[in-house]
């Protein structure tokens, strides 16, 4: 890995969690009553590890990522990012923490149609208030890292689904986050491209020393992850070591 991509986020005490959810409950209004999307969920994630979340549709997986991303405030419970209690921050401080500490990858890469792959990464940094030559150099290095060095000047419609997802991953890593939240990254991809994306996510997790959560239906790829937790009716099992690959 070139030095430009080496992680710069400060390590606190080694092994300290990057993301902690403590007794999180999330309810949404639903007609006259409420629906409980998350029911007393706790989770602690260490840098450099991939935790997979599996579970049926409607069980609360995306809600968990929404709370972990700090975009949604839980009804009760505590969210800590690198030890900071997010609930104690003002909205402006929370937005800043989100920009600096959290990378998000959704199923459908939300890329801007008019921008090239390189520009998608650069504009994210501009929004962060940084920019300049260092940004361009980092964006180029990241595109190279995800296997898109030759596609830097292409716009989304000139990229395959797998390539778009790679741009999405590179973009999420631009700010050198502590936490990477990934929702169904392979849902729109065929088997081989799905496997390549899962491999890439597991590799960058180690290289960037980020705590990664991947929501997935692809149980075949769970052996690549470090731990698997199951969501059912808003409740999360304790993460267990991923099963060994079959065969």
Ligand X SMILES: Nc1ncnc2c1ncn2[C@@H]1O[C@H](COP(=O)(O)OP(=O)(O)OP(=O)(O)O)[C@@H](O)[C@H]1O
Q: Cβ closer to ligand X: 58 or 83?
A: 58
- CA separation, residue 146 to residues 19, 46, 57, 206 (Å): 25, 23, 30, 14
The C-alpha atoms of residue 165 and residue 197 are separated, in whole angstroms, by 8
Taking the complex as a whole, how short is the minimal distance between the CB of residue 230 and ligand X, in angstroms? 11
The C-alpha atoms of residue 69 and residue 98 are separated, in whole angstroms, by 7
Q: Which does 32 bind (CB under 5 to 8 A by kind): Mg ion, ligand X, none?
A: none
Cα dihedral across residues 130, 9, 167, 140: positive or negative: positive
The C-alpha atoms of residue 99 and residue 113 are separated, in whole angstroms, by 22
Structure tokens at 11: 């390590």
Range 3-8 contact pairs with CB under 8 angstroms and sequence separation of 24 or more: 4/137, 4/138, 4/141, 5/138, 5/141, 5/142, 5/145, 5/207, 5/208, 7/176, 7/207, 7/208, 7/209, 7/210, 8/176
Q: Is 216 in the site for Mg ion (CB under 5 A)?
A: no
Residues 13 to 72: which contact Mg ion by CB under 5 A? 62
The C-alpha atoms of residue 18 and residue 210 are separated, in whole angstroms, by 8
Q: Cβ closer to ligand X: 12 or 28?
A: 28
Taking the complex as a whole, how short is the minimal distance between the CB of residue 214 and ligand X, in angstroms? 13
Which residue, chain included where needed, has tokens 């049926």? 56
Q: Which does 239 bind (CB under 5 to 8 A by kind): ligand X, Mg ion, none?
A: none
Q: Cβ closer to ligand X: 62 or 212?
A: 62
Q: Which does 35 bind (CB under 5 to 8 A by kind): Mg ion, ligand X, none?
A: ligand X
Residues 131 to 160: which contact Mg ion by CB under 5 A? none
- CA separation, residue 19 to residues 43, 78, 113, 124, 179 (Å): 8, 11, 32, 22, 7
Residues at the interface with ligand X (CB under 6 A): 28, 35, 37, 55, 57-63
Taking the complex as a whole, how short is the minimal distance between the CB of residue 2 and ligand X, in angstroms? 36
Q: Which does 245 bind (CB under 5 to 8 A by kind): Mg ion, ligand X, none?
A: none
Task: Number of residues interacting with Mg ion: please give it, by CB under 5 A.
Answer: 1
Q: Which does 164 bind (CB under 5 to 8 A by kind): ligand X, Mg ion, none?
A: none
Taking the complex as a whole, how short is the minimal distance between the CB of residue 148 and Mg ion, in angstroms? 27
Structure tokens at 16: 């300290």
Q: Cβ closer to ligand X: 61 or 80?
A: 61
Taking the complex as a whole, how short is the minimal distance between the CB of residue 237 and ligand X, in angstroms? 14
Taking the complex as a whole, how short is the minimal distance between the CB of residue 77 and ligand X, in angstroms? 15
Footprint of Mg ion (CB under 5 A):
62
């Amino acid at each position: 890995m070139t030095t430009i991509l080496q992680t710069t986020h400060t390590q606190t005490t080694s092994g300290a969690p990057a993301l902690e959810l403590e007794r999180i409950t999330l309810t949404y209004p639903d007609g006259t009553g409420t629906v409980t999307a998350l029911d007393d969920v706790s989770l602690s994630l260490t840098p450099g590890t991939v935790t997979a979340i599996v579970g049926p549709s409607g069980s609360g997986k995306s809600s968990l990522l929404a709370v972990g991303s700090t975009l949604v405030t839980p009804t009760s419970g505590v969210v800590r990012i690198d030890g900071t209690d997010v609930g104690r921050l003002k909205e402006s401080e929370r937005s800043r923490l989100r920009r600096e500490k959290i990378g998000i990858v959704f199923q459908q890469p939300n890329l801007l149609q008019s921008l090239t792959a390189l520009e998608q990464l650069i504009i994210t940094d501009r929004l962060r208030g940084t920019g300049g030559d260092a940004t361009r150099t980092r964006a180029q290095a990241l595109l190279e890292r995800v296997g898109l060095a030759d596609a830097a000047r292409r716009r989304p419609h000139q990229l395959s689904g797998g390539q778009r997802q790679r741009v999405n991953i590179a973009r999420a890593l631009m700010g050198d986050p502590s936490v990477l939240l990934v929702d169904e990254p392979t849902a729109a991809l065929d088997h081989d491209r799905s496997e390549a994306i899962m491999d890439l996510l597991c590799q960058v997790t180690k290289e960037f020393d980020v705590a990664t959560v991947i929501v997935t239906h692809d149980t075949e790829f769970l052996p690549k992850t470090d731990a698997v937790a199951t969501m059912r009716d808003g409740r999360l099992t304790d993460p267990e070591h991923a099963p060994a690959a079959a065969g």
